[in-house]
A and B are shown apart, each in its own frame.
Chain A
Amino acid sequence: MDAVRAEHLHDVPTGTRLVHAVQRVAYRVWIALDVVPGLAAFVAFVFPLAVIVAVWGALAAVSLYPDYLFPSPGQVAVKGWELLANGDIVRHSGASMFRLGLGFVVGLVLALPLGILIGVNRTASAFFMPPITFFQAIPGLAWVPLAILWLGIGHKAVTFIIFNSVFFPILFNTILGIRSIPDNMVNAALTLGASPWVLVKHVYLPGALPSIVAGMRLGAGYGWRALIGGEMIATSTGLGFMIFDARQFLGTDVVILGMIVIGILWLVTDVLILRPLERRTVLRWGTVRE
């Protein structure tokens, strides 16, 4: 037996053996990193990004473009330090996050009751669904001209645009969540004497919650995209404005920096707030639907 296996080992081409060796080392590193919880996963996430930065640096070095059109990672890092020190990044990020939060809250507060009403009531559904289906087809950014004319340049216009992007995913997911609650769960509550308000609080809301939270995450994502677009046109603060404004002075380093900040902020929001929220509701509610 052993002889056969040994022979077998002998037959393995050198290239494959090299790959195996690398894999073993990678595995050791992985195990070593795992001492700190989550570190291995973090490294696994960052490593490919580091490769991209390396490629970017190499391209910048050999690039035919001048530095002011294709800045190197180092230039962007220097710029990042500068804007961090003078407070620009914090100011613009703050403005963006504030608008996202506000638009999100307004969207949620309006979409939730309307979604419940439409999900529960056939007449309301018949009345509201056609206009909702129509407006849903209009991208949030198409509202920019009207938003500027109605609300002026600034927070209000951008918040309105975000609201538009957040509202529909939450609305549709709420309706879906309500409609997927088995009839007999509602019937059981009714035969126990439940009033409409008790039904909403104890059956409809908890029953639809996993779907609502999924809608919130989706809505926040759409809102974030609309936010950057809206800020390019309808305001003079925010990350969208920052990168669009920098373009005028050929500030490509600021543009790329802004893009990186946008990506990081979204990831942080998603990983720290939205995903845990989604996981918690799905976990707690478990197999809600049989």
Chain B
Amino acid sequence: MSDAAPAGVVVGDLEKVYVDPRTAEEVVAIRGLDLTIEPNEFVSIIGPSGCGKTTFLHMLAGLRKATGGRMLVHGKPITRPGADRGMVFQDYALLPWKTARENVEFGLKIKGLPAAERTATADRYLRQVGLDGFQNKYPRELSGGMQQRVALARALANTPEILLMDEPFASVDALTRISLQELLMQLWESEPRTIVFVTHSVEEAVFLSSKVAVFSARPGRCARIVPIDLPRPRRWAALQAHPRTAELRQELLALVQGGIAAPVGVA
């Protein structure tokens, strides 16, 4: 039809087969995965353990290669990692020999920004995630939740078009998790961008997302898309009371636990 490249992310018939180099044994992690992500959409991925969610994110980031199918970002195939696709890891993955500020500055330094500008930008993002005054601390001097904030600031400061988040709040305590979720919502609502967010928590997916992609058990594929038609801005206090919240949670839980997404062979 049109020559214009489709905006956003288009994934078609994606496949990833891992081959054990010693035994030549094959594990089909993903097969027949189709998913379309609109620009500035907040998509959560939910599904049983081992269904290929991390694998999928890493392939979007260009950290692992697909063994079949298509993955297009703005019409262009993904070949390698790039600053246009930022990532937040479950284990924070901060560089221990850099301070909080140096970690956040790192991407800007790679881009060649002058030092003064880098520092100003890093400090602004650190303030946004509530870490004013911790700029010169090393990761080991910060709590888990604070480290995850630094990792979030680091990814945001680099202004990626697409932000990939792999269970970023899974390893922090419940209260910190809630404050990080609200923080992420505020940031996203004031400055929307495409976010692909992997989680095991139905509550989290409902709270954050524009739509939720429910993956099937391995080999993973997108079994169902559930649009989250909850009002914004999203805040926990308001959302808990909303009648749709409970319905959507029920629906997702049923999909994850029973039927399509049930893990096979899991005791």
Contacts and interface: CB of A to CB of B under 8 A. Distances in A.
A202 B106 contact: yes
Nearest to B107: A192
A190 B96 contact: no
A14 interface: no
B87 interface: yes
Interface in A205-219: 206-207, 209
B91 A191 contact: no
B63 A190 contact: yes
B232 interface: no
Contacts of B61: 187, 190-191
Contacts of B91: 182, 184, 290
Contacts of A248: none
Interface of A: 182, 184-185, 187-195, 198, 202-203, 206-207, 209, 284-288, 290
Contacts of A209: 97
Given A190-B61, A191-B82, 10 more contacts: A187-B63, A187-B81, A188-B94, A188-B95, A191-B85, A191-B155, A193-B107, A194-B110, A209-B97, A288-B97
Q: Which residue, B63, B97, B110, has most C-beta atoms of chain A within 10 A?
A: B97
Q: Which residue, A191, A195, A206, has most C-beta atoms of chain B within 10 A?
A: A191
Contact of A285 (B58, B96, B106, B107): B96
Contacts of B58: 187
Interface string B88-108: 010101111110000000110
Nearest to B63: A187
Contact of A284 (B93, B94, B97, B111): B97
A193 B158 contact: yes
B: contact size bracket: 20 to 34
B154 interface: yes
27 contacts: A182-B91, A184-B91, A184-B93, A185-B93, A185-B95, A187-B58, A187-B93, A188-B87, A188-B151, A188-B154, A190-B81, A191-B83, A191-B85, A191-B86, A191-B87, A192-B86, A192-B106, A193-B81, A193-B111, A194-B110, A202-B95, A285-B96, A285-B97, A286-B96, A286-B138, A286-B140, A287-B140
Leading 9 A-B pairs by shortest Cβ distance: A193-B83, A192-B107, A184-B93, A188-B93, A190-B81, A191-B87, A206-B97, A184-B89, A193-B110
A195 B107 CA distance: 11
Given A187-B87, A286-B138, A192 B154 contact: yes
Interface in B150-188: 151, 154-155, 158, 160, 164
B264 to A, nearest CB: 28
A195 B80 CA distance: 11
A192 B34 CA distance: 27
Contacts of B82: 191, 193
A50 B110 CA distance: 58
Nearest to A191: B87
Contacts of A288: 96-97
Given A187-B61, A187-B87, A191-B63, A182 B93 contact: yes
Contact of B89 (A187, A202, A203, A206): A187
A192 B110 contact: yes
B14 to A, nearest CB: 19
A189 B63 CA distance: 11
Contacts of B164: 191
